Structure 1
């Protein structure tokens, strides 16, 4: 079974579980959907490779849309902060509700990481043998880190770039300080580590 098929099957199974069973983390439906959407767009990148001048506008629109959605994959990792909803006081015994929700949240994060690695591998394949590949990947990682900051702390979604672009830019500029830059740096380092550890293991093969 291809990794793309696995990604799709586990996504729908995960969403089905969230819809059918009680969980504190039902918001993962939306967050993981955005991560899944970014992954699916990455598989379409080869279709929008520019071959003539007539394709420039459409190709650029698609690539920009993909870039705006791409931070959603790594963003899900920061949902781990919601584990604080529970005490996890093991000295008081085993509380099944806590560990059920722990399983749900961590499973979603692992799935998002799988999507992230697959997505970055598709980007790498799209860039091919370009001498700028590593630089472009680094820029994409940094943009994703900024996107995580915007989503987590400024509470903007990707769609707001289109609906409220000036507001988004204004909020970003006025929120940047030592702490925000440090957070963006940490998210960048985290992504570099993930790519270094797992990207080569995924590999782009026929049927992925």
Structure 2
């Protein structure tokens, strides 16, 4: 089974599990859908590579939409903070409900990490022969980190870039401080670690 088919199978199996079984993390349905949508766009990137000047507008529009959606993949990883819903006090013994929801949430996060690596592989293969490929990939990683910061703390979604662009930019600029820069830096470092650990070092390098 190729990676795209595996990613699709895992997505539908995970969503089906969330729909059928009672879970405290039903919000993962939307989050995983957005992550999966970004991955599907990543697989389509080669098809929208401009081959002539007249194809540039469509190509640029598609790439912009992809860039706006791509932070949703990394965003799922930060959903780990929702483990705080449960106490996880081992001194009280095994509480099955807590660990069932632990399984549900961690499964989604692991799947998101898998999607993220597949997404980076698609980008890397697309820009591999470009002179500034490393810089482009670095810029993409930083943009993802900024997107996660905006979504997690400023509570903006990708669509708000079109519906509330001025408010979004204004709030982002006013929120930039040492703490936000640290968060963005940590998220970028996390992406580097995942790429280094899970990518094929024989074919991929930053």
Where do residues 20-169 of structure 1 align in structure 2 (5 Å cutoff)? 20-169=20-169
Structure-2 separation of matches of 1:86 and 1:117 = 30
The answer on whether the counterparts of 1:28 and 1:108 sit within 8 Å (CA) in structure 2 is: yes
Higher RCO (CA 8 Å, separation ≥ 6 residues): 1
Question: What do the CA deviations read for 1:64-119 (whole angstroms, capped 9, x no partner)?
Answer: 00000001111111000000000100110000000000000000000000000000
Structure-2 separation of matches of 1:37 and 1:110 = 17
3-state SS in 2 of match to 1:25 = coil
Unpaired runs of 5+ in structure 1? none
**Runs (4+) off by over 4 Å:** 201-204
Q: TM-score w.r.t. structure 2 length?
A: 0.97
Unpaired runs of 5+ in structure 2? none
Number of equivalenced pairs: 204
3-state SS in 1 of match to 2:25 = coil
Question: What do the CA deviations read for 1:32-73 (whole angstroms, capped 9, x no partner)?
Answer: 111000000000001111111100100000000000000111
Q: TM-score w.r.t. structure 1 length?
A: 0.96
Question: What do the CA deviations read for 1:9-37 (whole angstroms, capped 9, x no partner)?
Answer: 11001000100110000000000111000
- What displacement does 1:128 show? 2.8
- What displacement does 1:163 show? 1.1
3-state SS in 2 of match to 1:110 = helix
1:18 corresponds in structure 2 to: 18
The answer on whether the counterparts of 1:118 and 1:202 sit within 8 Å (CA) in structure 2 is: no
- What displacement does 1:198 show? 1.0
Structure-2 separation of matches of 1:136 and 1:197 = 20
- What displacement does 1:3 show? 1.0
